[in-house]
A and B are shown apart, each in its own frame.
Chain A
Amino acid sequence: MTEPIESLRLRWAEERARTAFLALADGTVFRGTAFGARCDMAGEAVFNTGMAGYQEILTDPSYAGQFVVLTAPEIGNYGCNPDDTESAGLWLSGLVVRDANPPSNYRAAESLDAYLARHGRPGIRDVDTRALTLHIREHGAQKAWLHVEDTPMTEAEGVARARAWEGLDGQDYAARVTAEQPYVFNAEGRFAVTLWDFGVKTNILRCLAQAGCRVTVVPAKTPAAEVLAGHPDGIFLSNGPADPSAVTYAQEAIAEVLRSGIPLMGICLGHQLLGLACGARCGRLPFGHHGCNHPVRDLRTGRVLITSQNHNYALTALPDCLEETFVNLNDGTVEGIRHRELPALSIQFHPEAAPGPHEAQALFRPFVSLMERHQ
């Protein structure tokens, strides 16, 4: 519990040296101190305004290819534990924080620093995260290079590497994070659900299991015919990273299964893919929605939900066959859709929370109702 004084002194000295940095493609550089794994990485810098839940963020496959800048300044406070994970590994490029603390919580198994190091992901602390956040807000999410290795690197070189990186747009990150083999989550249940894994968060699986589903998780590129051959009661399109427009195979597969009349639900990337499969367009938001406090109106009940969000892209230009069911009250973007004729619906935000408010968890109910009717 008590850090030896020598180790404190060493940490203070490191904080003064500020040898690590995050270089943005537009030439802006933010300096700090390295922690976690000491390996340089490329990625897109986005900010997340949630005040708790860093472990869920770290393990959320949707962050693949991104540096997550946490706006909450004191991070690591409750350490990391074996339970609050959203997948088997860490997928983001790196973590950017103001302050990284040793843990104090009865569930903590290891520190944030050790957790990142064990999973081979770098972190940078003592960064002016507010300045960085305002920069992203004004100039948009950016390609970036995180330098944390001991071998020196100039800032200019970091900027060059950020620029040289391919970026997320047009990249199929779902293929990088999806399950390699099909597997079953929750062998018991009223409904057989097949879930296309584009980078699924475990809490979606837990919520489905709780709703009485036995879930078969299949890789992203599993053909529609194979999914239909299993005669599922429902089909689920998971969340996932990066650009929906790059996942054309999934759009086609979704269009195919839609015609079968099997109930279908999507979340986040799954929502965008359903929209695209139905003829909507999908555009990039300036700096995305990442946080736990976004107000969304349920257009049918009028109620407002405080939601957990994590997406850079959003549906626009909905075709006539789609009804908008949820709208973001901050910027008016589409947060949910429902097919007017077919039993298909999807949600842009994260009803499964983890991290974030639980009040949208009831939104798995309509999917269950569709399956009940279909059965």
Chain B
Amino acid sequence: MPKRTDIRKILLIGSGPIVIGQGCEFDYSGTQACKALRREGYEVVLVNSNPATIMTDPVTADRTYVEPMTPEALEAIIARERPDALLPTLGGQTALNLAMELYRRGILGRYGVELIGANAAGIERAEDRQKFKEAMLAIGLDVPRSGSAHTPEEAREVAARIGTWPLIIRPGFTLGGTGGGIAEDPESFERIVRGGLDASPTSEVLIEESLLGWKEYEMEVVCDRAGNAVIVCSIENLDPMGVHTGDSITVAPIQTLTDAEYQAMRDDSFAVMRAIGIATGGSNVQWAVDPKTGRRIIIEMNPRVSRSSALASKATGFPIAKIAALLAVGFTLDELKNDITGTTPASFEPALDYVVVKAPRFTFEKFHGSDDTLGTQMKSVGEAMAIGRTFREALQKALRSLETGRGGFGADGKDGPMQALGDEALGKAVARPTAERIFALHEAFRRGWSVERVHALCAIDPWFLRHLRELALFEDEITAAGTPEALAADLPLLRQTKAFGFSDRQIAWLLKSDEAAVRALRRKAGVKPVYGAVDTCAGEFAARTPYYYGTYGGAADPEGPAPADHRGAILIVGGGPNRIGQGIEFDYCCCQAAYALREAGYRVVMINSNPETVSTDYDTSDALYFEPLTAEDIVPVYEREHCIGAIVQFGGQTPLNLARSLQAAGVNILGTSPDDIDRAEDRDAFKQLAERIGIRQPASGIALTAADAQRIAGEIGYPVLVRPSFVLGGRGMVIVRQEADLLDLAEQAVAVAEGKPILIDRFLENAVELDVDCVSDGTDTVVGAILEHVEPAGIHSGDAACVTPPISLSPAVLERVRGYARAFAEGLHVRGLMNLQLAVKDEEVYMIEVNPRASRTVPFISKAIGISLAAVAARVMAGETLAEAGLTREPVLPYYAAKEAVFPFARFPGAQIVLTPEMKSTGEVMGLSPSCGIAYLKSQQAAGTCLPERGTVLLSLCDADKAAGTRAALRLAELGYDFVATRGTATALWEAGLRPRAVFRVSEGHPNAVDLIRSGDVAWVVNTVGHGALPADEGRRIRSEALLHGVPMTTVLEGFAAAVEGLAASKAAGGPEVHSLQELHARL
């Protein structure tokens, strides 16, 4: 069946800001969909509030709305654009929920917009637990046995009916499931049931059989409207049931099922699709299997492209999102080509002749005080994927891809903490799922524990455990070689070691040598990686798409096409797994560079380990290598592709940290030299440069120990900013206001710095902070934009709300800022991007930091100014001038662009909810409007802070904020809001003529602020911190309570004032205003 011609204009909804559980995989899927649909001649209207995406690049869709993803904004866009159809299945849960909301409100019906890809009934059947269960039982599938009870007697009956232990008990209608538990036996069952009945406001408990320890599987299904369906990829979780699949180490394809079991699961996956009524596209079905009996239970199905789909696409070479988009407009699978072979159709099931391992990346270190036990709620912020010929090799590659400082599966000098555990503690570490458990397994096997013993503790399938044990024990074979020279002389052993996935770094550690020496000996011995193609067909057909993985386990695909007919091959080093502080922004930059260089006639070779990204899409570059980002893995790719240079500026800190070792290995680093990049990090060198340029710097010093730090802080005076050098995302960075706190905090910073110095700066209170991104070609320097932070200096620039053009600075100050940018670019010999962070206080400009590389604000600025700075920078790095690359002057914006950050605090109960110089946000959103206030308001709405249009505002301000806060409150009063306030703030409001209700402090009695939040009487919490504010623990309680109950919260006065301005402007405008990027850019 050919494509539909009755629809011409398609609305595509993206997934909004990056949050835990919904990352940049939906940028990948949305971008693929946009490209595929436009190539077929459809007009694509895209909505996504996230500026750090490729999909919101103005060239990706016909019309791009970077607007809040609210039903109101969507209705305004639909009314304007009048699309024929809405494709809701490529933007994660956000898009699906939003589409359903539009459907329920009758908006789709009113404007005649058809849902394609999935219909409303199907989505409801998949999403509603009860309806889903009924549908599954109707087709004869097994679901977890369960029942509910209102008394202990009823509970015992339910338990008897279920008939297995352990049982999971959940009290009905409690927030966050408090009061439940897992009962292993009748005694604990009795106790937990009674507790649960007490905790539940309806005296109800849900009792369900526990699937803990069962094997967990996923099937990625794609189907078309003719009824054809294929399994693109099957996935087996290494971590058994009980750990969210996003937090599990997973393996593709399935390893431990017989064909009979696999095919039955395949049949049932199709049956699930049909029962739910999925029309077309990609879905994922999750299964649990009892390892003792083979009993199989359906867990859930996602009627849309998911995180697993992105992984499956990268693992197999089958572009699920692209195919799903084309199927949604009526194509059938057999009409679409398999891009990789170019000759065979897409109606097939990829055959893998390698093993794929995905490992999750966590950042618990960012959230002090939170529980690091993994459970059913996802906590990882990113993932790395690795491909090897065997599970062993793939696992080692995946672990070293994570960039957590590990060289593989242990044996890298970082096993100390596990070695320090006693047997009992180690047993617990093996049993409790955490980010580090895999290394507890390593230590257990090093101690000679049997597979049986370890399996009994962790329930991980013995198939995986045996491989882990083999790796752990094989270390002794390497050590027995004695020296690297002896190992290199024993070729079979060296080959075997490398085929087992051991990195040079691990070998060096085992043989007490250094990595470079091992590498040199190995290369001299002729033991080098070969490259296998990810070809979808296990070698059956010739692949024409150069997508490779490196291996020492055989797989000798011929070299890629000989370099001809282009200006040379350039290697772009990607950013690796997403983490807080290094995410999609850098992937955006890498992709932009790839597009620009390809257009300029270069052959672009991409290397990255992150399956969620657009950069690891095989058509972003000319050749793609899915490899860990270490010098060992990068250099041979550079050599194999005969590159003329490598770009390390765009992938964030990961490639930058590799610049020196790559250069030492003969790699030509394009753009700003590693020396100059280092010079910006080197305090003394940088200080000299700043002095020469004549810019002020806050008084500062360098410390190697906490005691040093104390001395320096005493000299320069409090408050001070303490931070380790050479880290991204401000990890370990903190403001210290008094000497009493310094020692502890400085010690933490020293620990994070890992031997590198920590920096102590005088902190400028209440200064305005600026971010400046510019590009230099070595002669000229052009500023892309200057961003003004809404909050005062001291909040990490990744976490701060920002607005451009700046609103509070004089033209003279801005001109000086531009002058400094030019001077630093010249002083650091910048060729490419540079980011400056400055603070302005009393018309005086202070230098905080200069980074001669891509910054996380580059995509935001590019969207704001309509010019891709990363693309310009890439061309400049390849040798063009700024004029040739098309950037000659700083754009003047006739509108405002505001950025707000999005935080994962709700995922980390117990962690402190306060912004500091250490970055904690996972994602960002953008608001655009000719009115600065509306732009800011949109950014708040887009970040999920849906500020109420009326209602009661709880105000609790510190002394310094009381005057300005009162002014803002007066405006709010005009708009019809009421107020409650803590005592001091209430007094200030009374004096201004407002009549707020005063509330008690929590310690004083009731009703207090927490009571009001709980009872739903407060629609907005404004709580600022400083002298005269609430005591710290009280403020924390209020903020936690607001977060828990979903009440919007503003914690800085500047944000409050800007929001008030926006609310006033929005009210005056009389409804949501929406603009496409293309329209805005046309005004430039």
Contacts and interface: CB of A to CB of B under 8 A. Distances in A.
Interface of A: 1-3, 5, 8-9, 12, 15-18, 47, 49-53, 55-56, 71-74, 77-78, 81, 83-84, 98-99, 101-107, 127-131, 133-134, 137, 291-295, 297, 302-304, 306, 329-330, 353-359
B452 A2 contact: yes
B226 A134 contact: no
Given A3-B466, A52-B259, A127-B554, 18 more contacts: A12-B477, A49-B540, A52-B257, A53-B258, A53-B259, A71-B540, A72-B352, A74-B390, A84-B260, A107-B258, A130-B539, A292-B349, A295-B345, A304-B347, A306-B230, A306-B347, A329-B345, A359-B267
Interface in B266-313: 266-267, 270, 291-294
Contacts of B292: 106
12 contacts: A1-B466, A16-B496, A52-B257, A52-B259, A71-B540, A105-B256, A128-B553, A130-B538, A130-B539, A304-B334, A329-B347, A358-B263
A56 B354 CA distance: 21
Contacts of B266: 357-358
A1 B451 contact: yes
Tell me what chain A mostly uses at the interface: helix, strand, loop, or mixed.
Answer: loop
A293 B348 CA distance: 6
B532 A130 contact: yes
Contacts, number: 192
B532 to A, nearest CB: 6
Interface centre among A2, A9, A131, A357 (most CB of B within 10 A): A2
B540 A137 contact: yes
Interface of B: 226-228, 230, 253-260, 262-263, 266-267, 270, 291-294, 332-334, 343-345, 347-355, 389-391, 450-452, 455, 461-463, 466, 469-470, 473-474, 477, 492-493, 495-496, 532, 537-542, 553-557
A327 B604 CA distance: 39
Contact of A1 (B353, B452, B532): B452
A295 B347 contact: yes
Tell me what chain B mostly uses at the interface: helix, strand, loop, or mixed.
Answer: loop
Given A17-B492, A358-B267, A78 B557 contact: no
A105 B344 contact: no
B496 A12 contact: yes
Nearest to A30: B554
B852 to A, nearest CB: 43
Contact of B493 (A16, A53, A81, A292): A16
A195 to B, nearest CB: 23
A128 B554 contact: yes
B351 A71 contact: yes
Contact of A77 (B255, B294, B334, B452): B255
Contact of B463 (A2, A77, A81): A77
Contact of B557 (A16, A47, A105, A130): A130
Contacts of B291: 106
A133 B538 contact: yes
B492 A81 contact: no
Contact of B333 (A71, A134, A294, A304): A304
Contact of A55 (B258, B450, B455, B474): B258
B554 A98 contact: yes
Contacts of A330: 343-345, 348, 541
B754 to A, nearest CB: 35
Given A16-B496, A77-B256, A71 B539 contact: yes
Contact of A130 (B255, B334, B556): B556
B496 A1 contact: no
Nearest to B455: A1
A71 B492 contact: no
B350 A293 contact: yes
Given A71-B538, A98-B553, A137-B540, A104 B351 contact: no
B479 to A, nearest CB: 13
B744 to A, nearest CB: 46
Contact of B255 (A9, A50, A74, A357): A74
A129 to B, nearest CB: 7
Contact of B353 (A8, A129, A295): A129
B323 to A, nearest CB: 14
Contact of B555 (A130, A291, A297): A130
B348 A353 contact: no
Contacts of B542: 137
A65 B380 CA distance: 51
A141 B387 CA distance: 28
A137 B539 contact: yes
B221 to A, nearest CB: 12
B496 A15 contact: yes
A46 B253 CA distance: 22
A282 B151 CA distance: 74
Contacts of B493: 16
